[in-house]
Amino acid sequence: MSARHVALNRFGLGARPSEATLADPQGWVRAQLMGKPPSLVGTPPSIEAITAAYRAQVAAIQSQDQTRRQQAARQIVALSAAEVNTLLTTRVASERPFAERWVAFWSNHLCVSSAASIRVAALAGHYEREAIRPNVFGSFEGLLLASAKHPAMLAYLDNAQSVGPGSLVGRRGRRGNAPVGLNENYARELLELHTVGVDGGYTQRDVEQLARILTGWTVQGLGGRLDRGTGSIGFRFLPSMHEPGSKEVLGVRYAERGEEEGVRVLRDLARHPSTARFLATKIARHFVADDPAPSVVDALVTTWRATEGDLRAVATTLVAHADAWDAGHRKFRTPQDWLVAVLRATGVRELNPAFGLLLRQLGHQPWAPSAPKGYGDLTREWADPDALMNRAELARSLADRVMRDGRARAMDLAGLASTVSLRSDDPLPGLLTDGTIPPAERVALAVAGPAFQWRG
Task: Burial-class residue 114 by CB neighbours within 10 Å (0-12, 13-18, 19+).
Answer: buried
pLDDT confidence tier of residue 226, bands split at 50, 70 and 90? very low
* SS3 call for 285: helix
Instruction: Tell me how many helices (H) and strands (E) the chain has.
Output: 23, 6
- pLDDT tens for 306-316 read 999 999 999 99
pLDDT for 424: 86
User: In terms of pLDDT, which residue wins out, 50 or 1?
Assistant: 50
Read off the pLDDT band of 109 (50, 70, 90).
Answer: very high
Q: What is the pLDDT of residue 20?
A: 76
pLDDT at 61: 82
CB atoms inside a 10 Å sphere around CB 337? 23
For residue 176, what pLDDT is reported?
A: 63
Query: Beta-strand (E) ranges in 213-300?
Result: 217-220, 234-237, 247-249, 252-254
Q: How far is CA 201 from CA 11, 139, 206, 207, 253, in A?
A: 32, 23, 10, 11, 16
- What is the average per-residue pLDDT within 185-206? 97
- 390-418 pLDDT, tens per residue? 999 999 999 988 888 777 777 888 899 99
pLDDT at 228 over 60: no
Asked if 269 and 144 count as a contact pair (C-beta separation under 8 A), the reply is yes
Number of Cβ within a 10 Å radius of residue 8: 28
Q: Is the dihedral of CA 226, 232, 237, 238 positive or negative?
A: negative
User: Bigger pLDDT: 115 or 303?
Assistant: 303
Residue 166 has pLDDT above 80, yes or no: yes
Distance CA 317, CA 305 (A): 12
The domain ranges of the chain are: 3-12+331-453, 142-293
Q: By C-alpha distance, which of 347, 311, 297 is closest to 16?
A: 347
Q: Is residue 250 classed as helix, strand or coil in its secondary structure?
A: coil
Up-side HSE of residue 30: CA atoms within 13 Å toward CB? 13
Residue 332 has φ and ψ, to the nearest 5°, of -75, 140
- Is residue 143 within 8 Å of 128, Cβ to Cβ? no
In this prediction the pTM is: 0.95
CA separation for the pair 9, 426 (Å, rounded): 18
Structure confidence by residue, pLDDT tens digits, 133-158: 999 999 999 999 999 999 999 999 99
User: Based on C-alpha coordinates, what's the Rg of the chain?
Assistant: 23
Question: Where is pLDDT greater, at 230 or 36?
Answer: 36
pLDDT of residue 83: 93
Instruction: For 53-103, write each residue's pLDDT tens digit.
Output: 888 888 888 888 888 888 988 899 899 999 999 999 999 999 999 999 999
What percent of the chain shows pLDDT beyond 90?
Answer: 78
pLDDT for res 404: 83
- The candidate with the shortest Cα–Cα distance to 104, out of 138, 140, 129, is 129
- 218 beta partners: 236
> Which pLDDT does position 21 carry in this prediction?
85
Within 10 angstroms of residue 165's Cβ, the number of other Cβ atoms is: 14
Q: What is the mean pLDDT of residues 92-119?
A: 95
How far CA 376 is from CA of 20, 92, 148, 363, 424, in Å, comes to 30, 21, 22, 12, 32
Q: pLDDT confidence of 441, banded at 50, 70, 90?
A: very high
Task: Give CA–CA dist 126/106, Å, rounded.
Answer: 14
| CB-CB contact of 330 with 378 (8 Å) | no
So what's the pLDDT on residue 318? 98
CA torsion through residues 367, 370, 371, 375, sign: negative
Question: Can you tell me whether residue 74 is helix, strand or coil?
Answer: helix
Calculate the CA 34 to chain-centre distance: 21
Q: With contact defined as beta carbons under 8 Å apart, do 262 and 148 qualify?
A: yes
Q: Which of 157-166, 187-196, 328-337, 345-354 has the lowest mean pLDDT?
A: 345-354
- The whole-angstrom separation of Cα 406 and Cα 411 is 9
Summary mean pLDDT of the chain: 92
Which pLDDT does position 38 carry in this prediction?
A: 93
Q: What is the pLDDT of residue 229?
A: 55
Q: For residue 239, what pLDDT is reported?
A: 97
**Does pLDDT of 29 surpass 50?**
yes
Task: Calculate what percentage of the chain has a pLDDT beyond 70.
Answer: 96
> Roughly how many angstroms between the first and final C-alpha of the chain, as a whole number?
8
